[in-house]
Structure 1
């Protein structure tokens, strides 16, 4: 128990010295302390995959819904955006509630709700029923990202938080890959309803396993940071501090705006390849899943690059996020102007790789500018920005524009949103030193 109450570096040193002294029983405990956090990460990550599989499987069945129910592109977009909208609206209040009610119980309830709601999607008989079911999916998924990453970070040392944040957030894209590709194949061979049913069953199986393995008590036993005791922060600052630091605001805005185009690619690439490359829905979904995989891989690689570049100069995180946005802006902006063919696919692939590259670094910047006692709520606020400014807004606006300009015309405009993200991130870089001073003042006041 003494190890859980020391600082990040001390448990390693203490355990090492005991092991060197030959004290019996230490090595199994050390292995357990190393293994359990990774088990928590694996199960939490698996549920995140289920989260996004349930969310993005809809994109794979767009052609079937459009044909069977004669839906417009704006109606199809609303089925996607309603989920992101609910996530954006409910993430912060549900994150705060989870901190008080219990994070594990909250995660189990969330995953159960979105899995059952996905099953309701499978039996929907019209657009209105499907929209209502998707609404419930959004409610269930609302705070999973912020609460899930808070659970993971609580049992890992701060020195790996940036890497874990990037990998965890990339899980959304990996889940989208599986959801879109598998959903498309199932829809072609068994019908679109079975695509939803398969995701629902998988989610329910994972939540049962998570409930057995992950408990509040075991998380408390493996907690790393001093401010955590039985899962509850000891020293707290007001929640209002999340909104009084201008540099954090820039991170919220930049992070949300850079997700706009990534969200469009996640939602509309299956339809793009179906309409403009003449691919059948299942083949279009598989090809689109490659681009979604590029988005996910880019998030991880971009996070690693940022950690390397900013190791001795944290302010360089801002420059990295700006660079990723510029690359994607140029690649996608030019790519969507070209005709179909290899040059277009290469540029779209490069743009997709860096489309959400700023996500991990942005999360790390928010974590570095918020007090530990409200850090999960800070990440929740970033999730709100990601959904309101990106995941909800992007696909819906493109759907509306597609009804008027055609899907390609709408996609050609999309990359311009990166300009707004670049401006927000550039301003944030200038405000970063003042933001660190403000955080130090908040920490001092809380300690007093």
Structure 2
């Protein structure tokens, strides 16, 4: 019996362990931290051996195959030693793919991937297809394969997950954007991070499709350097001449595809607003048409799609001030889209754990859109330095309640209060969901 070692006992790792058990491996899961009770219970239910609070290096070294959590860098000694010993180390996505015969639509990108993933899933489900959503959102891919079955999988995939992929091959891949993010995992190299994202099309053939954002130079530059046989479908905010393309013209999404798969709809009919969501809708609609989903089903799905929690989420209008939760904006590019979509004078709540942000990229938008800045973080010096001369009112806070009350003080009738931190959340919050939920709670208690 082959031995499978799973490193990391979160959603991804436990899913991989259960799939391994179902497929006949001798499975051992190891996590140097304490496991959550729900994951312990699952492992016990499936009679899977595990340890927590440590890594038993001797037992791990006996593995025939290691599946590692995306949170574990390749640079740690345990991974390096395992690879040096000839043990194959892969991601849960790769492990799941080896036991999957369904059609896969895979989405990656620095920003927009969750929205596009949920859009594609919403369209396919509305069309009555057998479909599951997994990966970085929804269930663990491996867990779903172990316990259920679907004919189509819509997978949101991070660069960390792609790093551990070898044979993974989606039928349709979508790349929404590439902007600097997570560079601490890539030796502070944007080139390494970008190459990681492009692993999504590594194994695609001429029978597969790659939908990508042509408006981003970082994407088009890289495509000019590589040669892959996949059928490419660019999408853009402006008119494109290519036979296979998606673009916006005269406020209409226009998708040009072969064999009567073309499609159009008014941007005004989208339930989610903003230029970035029009781009997301183009990518999702193109994927749906490639899967032969009816045009009317796509239109109805886009009209009913409610968006992603913590991403430009309308929380409440109080005293004629709109409160908007964009806590999922953990980098500059995401906040750029948020500020760009604002149509009212905006009180901006920003800050957290800085990931090497170049705030100057937001300066023009801040000058035109922002009336006051509320800093929410333990170290706000870079934010104050970047915008202190452009915005009259800049205040520092260190709790969500204090931040919201400060924003309420600056906002008047007709304004908007936008939480779009452009930073990670770990200085004051458990994660971006915790940050967004606290914002919503305070706002709803005003």
TM-score clears 0.5: no
More helix by share: 1
TM-score norm. by structure 1 comes to 0.26
TM-score norm. by structure 2 comes to 0.26
More strand by share: 2
Kindly indicate whether structure 1 or structure 2 has the higher relative contact order, using CA contacts under 8 Å at least 6 residues apart: 1
